Structure 1
């Protein structure tokens, strides 16, 4: 009998503990991954959630019993698993799993899975089949009934030296100015990595919510939510800092505040990083998501690069990164992907590169972003819970039928002075709206209200 598992999304595993996801199910999923991808050596890591150690132990026991070697890197961010996998190809590493639910509340947990070379696993590349195997009781019982193999070996890899060296090798540390930085880990996993980087950088760090704590004493670590931004912003102003940086729980997303404590939308950081990387890689391809596009495309084209739009979501962007051999890809949601980081997303490289750019130009982040924010003001992502997302999308399509339409992800509609993207959530009956204009704040506000009235009516 095969059971449908609610914890599987389009590109990861995530669910409430223990109703939707627990240690026993995690063990089955790990075994299904190993079987489907013929994995013989797997990297395992975990975030700070209180349920993570038990889950990792169950996965480890299951894999070892089936003869799969495990490299346990302990408490870490998602990108540390990516790094251990793509840098471990010559050592026979076949894939990796981090136990994390990213920015979800404390009662959730889940898994992000990659195969050899840290290639993503999504519904289009095996996740659907893994879900079917893990939910198939007959398959699992047959596997358990097979004769015991020679046990796998577990290696505990506590050192982060190679990973830290990789990060530092991406920037010119000697050219950095002595900046004062507010860093807010949200009691997630970023703090220990910041502490390892700090001795190599001429920065003064003001540390907030720094220690990993799965109880989330300061709430859910998700700076994309406006209500989660005040602590960082206030600390930047109080300490006269040059920059504020915040992360989500597994620090695969990185968020910025300028020297005035103003939150900078991830959209503008995409254009900033794309331009910086094009000076090192002239003519390179830059990927971006469909939600907000004009600023990125204008900057990339002006810098001699090739902008390419791709579907939203880390698994899809990583696949496109490899196919296009793109040097960089960015999402407005603060995911940033780098060819020199195994085509994977990193929450540490963006702030190091922004600090390098500020050091090279002598300009604060506000000066680097202000003109672009004026040229292309945005609404920010606005969520609306609706009973029938497909019906609303059809209504919007009909109402704005005179615009130029694109269906890369949801629906994007473009007019000469404004454009918008409306897309459905993968996991709940929610529509996500983003609007931008060509320098017209009044038009932005009017069109945003108009769209929300149509969506919510």
Structure 2
């Protein structure tokens, strides 16, 4: 029995040929169908050169397990999520490797109502059956038909804003040659029909699996220049860049400055609480103080969750939270079946810019000033746990408040940091924040201090 190494904590991700190929994709589809026995599922894929072949193999596996398939074509992950809760289907699969290197691909799987399938919620069973290949023959095979979900998806997206209240804005849209372009085009057409005064400047717009401008991953500093430069050149009000499957969007202010995802969580929390005080806002433990301050200021209830989409979604469902945000630029919405979306956030932000008549930099500058942060810093280490133990030992005499809900967070009152091992790579991820009103030290001093300890 061959062990499949492409199964991760939250999804399937692996190197093409060795870890993931069409035979494995077929087995995943077959196992999904046999375990859950859905009547119909939606399947889509991103623009990677290998995605269409993997999608066809997955759909064959589903059909051979007796499952009908609605083939959504080239989609972002959230279009599959949308199909899984909006249509009369019992699940969905997106073929994507998001921001991984070109020789990788993967799969994201959900059940009915777009409920996530992770290692602790079904993915291990799918892995075991795919590895054993103990498939049961079915009498009636399923059928596959094409389905265009885009018009219904666009209609849903427009429900998050009042188009008549949007002020004239110029937006740079950087799809990164990923899957976002067709949705941007459809929204632009709808805005024009409704007379919404938006001017969209599109760069790296065409879906292209050869990634002529590099892998679409705006969280990497070296990938931000094209959006920044376009914002400055066109004197735009806002820059928006997406990753490959556009379930994350990254925002640049009118000066071309990249806004850390952490402050966007606070901004979107504010947007929801302005509409409805008392709503619950779910956040991850890596950086928290700004989110807590905003939620308190606008009379909301902040709830902490372990980071990772399945944990955030479960916590939101448990508390019926309106919004959940991770500093990694994943944003989750109750009205989107608690799923993450890279389209809803920027729509809410342009509504906020229109409503407040302020620039994005003006909306976030006080947050950035009051609660400086390091952004996520990654270190390659031989032993993550030993390094974490060393940090705990070093700071023990300062008696920090410890929180082990996700890696470990150490809170010293005037500053805090979170350090956690990556689920997928031999990396240690560090996030630091401080309170300006209590802290005379510069963020660079904390970064230097902790970097030296970790790399020593």
Q: TM-score, normalised by structure 2?
A: 0.96
Matched, 1:357 2:356: no
In the other structure, the counterpart of 2:167 is 177
Q: CA RMSD in A?
A: 1.1
Q: For structure 1, which segment, 196-205 or 42-51, has the greater mean C-alpha deviation from structure 2 after superposition? A: 196-205
Shift of 1:153: 2.1
CA contact (8 A) 2:14 2:105 kept: yes
Instruction: State how far apart, in whole Å, the 2-side matches of 1:331 and 1:66 are.
Output: 36
Matched, 1:195 2:189: no
In the other structure, the counterpart of 1:435 is 432
The counterpart of 2:148, out of the listed 151, 158, 164, is 158
The counterpart of 1:332, out of the listed 327, 331, 340, is 327
Instruction: State how far apart, in whole Å, the 2-side matches of 1:221 and 1:179 are.
Output: 25
Matched, 1:149 2:139: yes
Instruction: State how far apart, in whole Å, the 2-side matches of 1:131 and 1:323 are.
Output: 27
Matched, 1:376 2:376: no
Matched, 1:232 2:227: yes
Equivalenced residue count is 447
CA contact (8 A) 1:267 1:333 kept: yes
Q: Which runs of structure 2 are paired with 1:45-60 in the superposition (5 Å)?
A: 45-60=44-59
Shift of 1:159: 4.3
The counterpart of 2:217, out of the listed 222, 242, 247, is 222
CA contact (8 A) 1:173 1:200 kept: no
CA contact (8 A) 2:30 2:64 kept: no
Q: Which runs of structure 2 are paired with 1:379-394 in the superposition (5 Å)?
A: 379-394=374-389
In the other structure, the counterpart of 2:278 is 283
In the other structure, the counterpart of 2:264 is 269
Unaligned runs of 5+ in 1: none
Unaligned runs of 5+ in 2: 192-196
Instruction: State how far apart, in whole Å, the 1-side matches of 2:296 and 2:376 are.
Output: 25
In the other structure, the counterpart of 1:108 is 104
Name the SS for the 2:442 alignment partner.
helix
Name the SS for the 1:126 alignment partner.
helix
In the other structure, the counterpart of 1:12 is 11
Shift of 1:441: 7.5
Instruction: State how far apart, in whole Å, the 2-side matches of 1:271 and 1:188 are.
Output: 27
Name the SS for the 1:111 alignment partner.
strand
The counterpart of 2:121, out of the listed 122, 125, 128, is 125
Instruction: State how far apart, in whole Å, the 2-side matches of 1:394 and 1:5 are.
Output: 32
Q: TM-score, normalised by structure 1?
A: 0.96
CA contact (8 A) 2:37 2:67 kept: no
> Structure 1 residue runs of 4+, over 6 Å off?
none
